[in-house]
Amino acid sequence: MEGELARLAYPNAFHLTQSVYIHVPKTAGYSARQIVYGPYSVQLRGHVPARQYRGASPELFAKYFVFATVRHPLARLRSAYHFLSAGGMHKANRRWAAKNLSGFKGFSEFVRAMENKDVRDRIMRYPHFVPQSWFVCDESGKSIVDFLVRTESFETGMREVCRRLQVEYSDRRLNETVPRYPIDAPPDREIEQRCRDLYRQDYEVLGYELSPPAPAVSDRRRTAPLNAVIMMRQR
């Protein structure tokens, strides 16, 4: 049974590179997939949490290099809101946004509306708004990935991933076009704090500060910024 689950969960791209990529929504995931896996990136499944891969094959999960891309929670929340409000990537995105986002006049009103539990629960169940820690942590809230690449220093982090996997780095970034939505004013301190309240575990597990961008990478199980020092789990 474990072998069958492993074949379902682990595409050949993972076996070829002996790696597992955790694709957190709105963290430059398609670019990361292209850089590491190239044409084999089409084999990868969508937004699968790390614990699901571990459950499918604990042996492979422990053996392979597990990495993820992450983003400052406020920047990710803002990006997801504007992306979906502008139509997203497909019909399902547009239908969901029309039902759940069309009533807000802007990002700040959207964030304030999540003070209501019903609104908050409905919004934060959608993949683009699910906390990043849900994808990289186990059931106890502990990170189980080996390496985090922060989008704030994407190239630095991805070059290190490629070096670890002995894959030639080639910049194949996708979705880098001019946004289809207007860029509103930077959120004020109130909105920043509300975002921290919503994504408290993300700030703590991923090591982000309230406003400043964080370093490029961090290691498994660490909860504080690494001041741009690359560290790895001891295998």
- Do residues 111 and 195 touch, judged by C-beta distance below 8 A? yes
What's the first-to-final CA gap in the chain, in angstroms?
Answer: 27
pLDDT value at residue 183: 52
Q: Where are the domains of the chain?
A: 2-219
pLDDT of residue 19: 97
Instruction: Give me the amino acid identity at 204.
Output: E
Check: CB of residue 203 under 8 Å from CB of residue 215.
Answer: no
> Which parts of the chain have pLDDT scores under 50?
1-2, 176-178, 212, 214-216, 221-235
Q: Give the pLDDT of residue 171.
A: 77
pLDDT at 185: 58
- The pLDDT assigned to 172 comes to 65
Q: Which two tokens stand for residue 124?
A: 């934060």
**H or E element in which residue 68 lies:** strand 65-70
Give me the pLDDT at residue 222, please: 40
